[in-house]
Amino acid sequence: MFADKRIIIVACAAFAGSAPAGYAAGEKTPSASAQSRPAVWTLTVPAYRVLSQVTFFDAIDKAGIVGVKAVEGRPYRISNETGDAQLGPSAPAEALEKTKKKLRDAGLALISYYAGDFGGDEAAMRRLFEFGRTMGIQVFIGEPAPDKLAALDRLAGEFGINVAIHNHPRRPNRSAYVYWDPDVIMRMIEKCSHRIGCCADTGHWVRSGLDPVECLKKYQGRLLYLHLKDVSEKGPRGHDVIFGTGVADVKGMLAELRRQQFSGPISFEYENNVKDRPADVRQCVDFVRKIATELGQEVQ
């Protein structure tokens, strides 16, 4: 993706617009008023990855199995009823209205959306944010090139939607890919407003040979979103497993989130090819709720 790490260290234009709740523009740490408010974790599930790869409506119908009230979207077909329309900026207004009604009827919120590289130019990014505003999305997740950050920062402030930089695992045959390294991402976003932050994929950190608890510490103050995972073993062959049965120290990660007063979405991106993926994810959700109760942490 990138020639080397030097391309990562770019100047993201300072943005004086609105910041996430608890941050004044340009602040590096939460304001005093934010620290006085109780942190709440919102549990969510990626519709495509976990519930249904057929249509988004099919995923909505299955969401109750998992026991969450929010879903994460990505570009794929909305429903048989809406034809070939994809969940995203290209969808006709009528298809999006039907999608919002389907979500309301199911008691679900589409709070996040995986946006990949965020499009080819600023006009495409603007269409993405307009779609996000229409759907009530709170955060976009993806891996934009560094030269897109200034535009994303402006749009994030204008629309009030956060952008969380995601990490995939380190690959020996892809030395140019550096987003697996939390230090690289933190250097990349250090001059951005706090609308630009991090999505921690904890399973990919374990696959990269990193300690996810230590990585979360590095993201303190810029952590906006999680793909929380437990993994069968360290290294690239590790696959997702039910929380508490792998090597990723999920309890330790939750305790670290509690220490940081993290207040945001936790997504259960469970990619193990098992017979009943939603049933496995339900066990992960129940595990997090149990540990949250032990920690005195509010969860919704």
- Domains along the chain with CATH numbers: 5-299 (3.20.20.150)
| Phi, psi dihedral angles at 76 (to 5 degrees) | -160, 170
pLDDT at 38: 73
Distance CA 232, CA 240 (A): 6
Write the DSSP assignment of 77-126 as a string of letters.
Answer: B--STTTT-BSSTTS-HHHHHHHHHHHHHHT-EEEEEEEET--SSHHHHH
Distance CA 156, CA 123 (A): 14
pLDDT less than 50: residues of the chain:
1-11, 13-35
| Phi, psi dihedral angles at 123 (to 5 degrees) | -65, -40
pLDDT at 93: 98
pLDDT at 37: 63
pLDDT at 12: 54
Distance CA 132, CA 136 (A): 6
| Phi, psi dihedral angles at 32 (to 5 degrees) | -60, -35
Distance CA 107, CA 116 (A): 27
pLDDT at 165: 98
Entry pTM: 0.88
Type and span of the H or E element at 224:
strand 223-227
- Give me the amino acid identity at 280: D
Question: Residue 207: which residues within 8 A CB-CB, separation 6 or more?
Answer: 169, 170, 231, 234, 235, 236, 238
pLDDT at 172: 85
Task: Read off the DSSP letter of residue 22.
Answer: T
- Asked if 273 and 50 count as a contact pair (C-beta separation under 8 A), the reply is no
pLDDT at 7: 39
SS3 state of residue 74: coil
